[in-house]
Amino acid sequence: MHYTIIPLIRKHITGEITGEERETLARWIDEHHDNKAFFDRVTSGNGITERERFFRQTDKQRRLREFDRLIGYRKRRALAAARYYAAAAIVVIALLVWQAWPVPREIPAGEHAAIKPGSTRATLTVSDGTVFSLQSGGSQPIDAEGIARVDSTRAGIVYADRPDKSVRQRRDILRTSRGGEYRVYLPDGSMVYLNADTRLEYPVPFDADKREVQLSGEAYFEIAKERERPFHVIVDGIRVQVHGTTFAMSTREKDGIQTVLIEGSIGIQSATTGKEIMMSPGQLALFSREGELLALKHVNVYPYIAWKDGKFIFEEEELEHIMQTLSLWYDVEIAYLDDTIRRHPFTGHLRRYDDIYTILNAIAQIIDVDFEVNGRVITVKDTR
């Protein structure tokens, strides 16, 4: 089977074929008279017209509906269903984990009262340098123009969608510190959920022809679709072009900038090469800070965004990475007595708003590790 020739013949027919491909195709045609006969037949006959006519007459839509019913597929709700499924799986796994370890080992407590999980708080800096401290409660306008207000029910800051020409454009900076998280509902209806120690900068209102934000840290994006006004996320050496979509980004991976696409489509352009990489849902792209593509692969996306639903989902994740996540969320420092333990993988589903001892106990029950808490420092020890 000459599978590699299929796209070349198609490109030949649509006129997309390039020089090198043309040569490859020509070589293939010359290789054997059967090849030539085949090429002539598909390019000169009325095969395409015949199929077009035929395809119009099939009962595909009805058959597809029947098939969807058989497999239980539901359009558009597929993602919601996947989330529900994920949540169900978490419950099951967590129960299994706890029952498998009936006698929990206690972690020496030390002075631990000070360590708390993160909470809904951030600061907003507007153009003139004024800094507003945002907490969760209340629902009040926070800036003089009344464009932004805190909405406690949505646990974030909401911008009014006012294409008012009289208001001068300004640049707002939303920052969460270690142990903070915050949502922002931008004037176009898009939502960005900032994890701890994250900074998002954006103009208010957006430009007429583009929506551009700058990110460092980790955030989850749900972008409102606007055909005429592309949404861009700029991070170091890359620019993410969004076409109405849900995705998560983190700039704090050791190796660079990590983007996970949940739904929709995005293209990531490298500032250095100018090349754009298109991502499809379920993919993870890793870029260096300079904008070099290091990896593009399919992943189970949920662990990457579970934090937004108040969960930590670790799947075969290295302890060091897990501790780094905890360090940001609980605002603690991590020290290792043994370096070998850093690479140790842990799998588990935990709750993000739990006390840190619950989290540490759960980890210590699964892998051979002990934690010692002193003030805001957690020391990790190998117990093997």
Partner 1 sequence: MAIDERAIIEQINRKNKQAFHDLFNDFFNSLVYFSTRYVGRKEVAEDIVQELFAGLWESNREYLSYNGFKTFLYTSVKHMSLDWLKHKKVEERYLSAKGTETDDEMDWKIMEEEIYRALLQAVGELPRRCREIFHLHLQGKKNEEIAASLGLSILTVKTQKKKASRYIRERMGKLYLLLLLLHVIEAA
Q: Residues in the site for partner 1, rule: CB under 8 A?
A: 1-7, 9-10, 13-16, 34, 38, 41-42, 44, 46-49, 51-52, 54-55, 57-60, 63-64, 66-68, 70-73, 78, 265, 267, 276, 278, 280, 282, 296-298
Residue with tokens 């780094």: 324
C-beta of 57: minimal distance to partner 1 in Å? 7
DSSP 353: T
Q: Which of 296, 271, 273 is nearest to 285 (CA)?
A: 296
CA atoms within 13 Å, Cβ hemisphere of 182: 30
C-beta of 264: minimal distance to partner 1 in Å? 12
C-beta of 371: minimal distance to partner 1 in Å? 36
Question: Considering beta carbons, is residue 25 or 369 the nearer one to partner 1?
Answer: 25
Asked if 264 contacts 281 with a C-beta cutoff of 8 angstroms, the reply is yes
Asked if 351 contacts 339 with a C-beta cutoff of 8 angstroms, the reply is no
The full DSSP string for 186-209 is -TTS-EEEE-SSEEEEEEES--SS
Question: Considering beta carbons, is residue 268 or 323 the nearer one to partner 1?
Answer: 268
Asked if 306 contacts 351 with a C-beta cutoff of 8 angstroms, the reply is no
Question: Considering beta carbons, is residue 21 or 253 the nearer one to partner 1?
Answer: 21
C-beta of 11: minimal distance to partner 1 in Å? 9
- Bridge partners of residue 238, in order along the sequence: 235, 270
For CA atoms 87, 89, 95, 101, the dihedral sign is negative
Asked if 241 contacts 230 with a C-beta cutoff of 8 angstroms, the reply is yes
C-beta of 77: minimal distance to partner 1 in Å? 11
C-beta of 285: minimal distance to partner 1 in Å? 11
Question: Considering beta carbons, is residue 203 or 281 the nearer one to partner 1?
Answer: 281
Question: Considering beta carbons, is residue 3 or 113 the nearer one to partner 1?
Answer: 3
Q: How far apart are CA 350 and CA 309, in angstroms?
A: 11
Tokens of 124: 């907003």
**Amino acid identity for residue 24 in this structure:** T
Question: Considering beta carbons, is residue 295 or 337 the nearer one to partner 1?
Answer: 295
C-beta of 153: minimal distance to partner 1 in Å? 33
Question: Considering beta carbons, is residue 48 or 294 the nearer one to partner 1?
Answer: 48
DSSP 289: T
C-beta of 265: minimal distance to partner 1 in Å? 7
Question: Considering beta carbons, is residue 195 or 269 the nearer one to partner 1?
Answer: 269
**Amino acid identity for residue 90 in this structure:** I
Please state the φ and ψ torsions of residue 127, each to the nearest 5 degrees.
-50, -40
Q: How far apart are CA 279 and CA 284, in angstroms?
A: 8
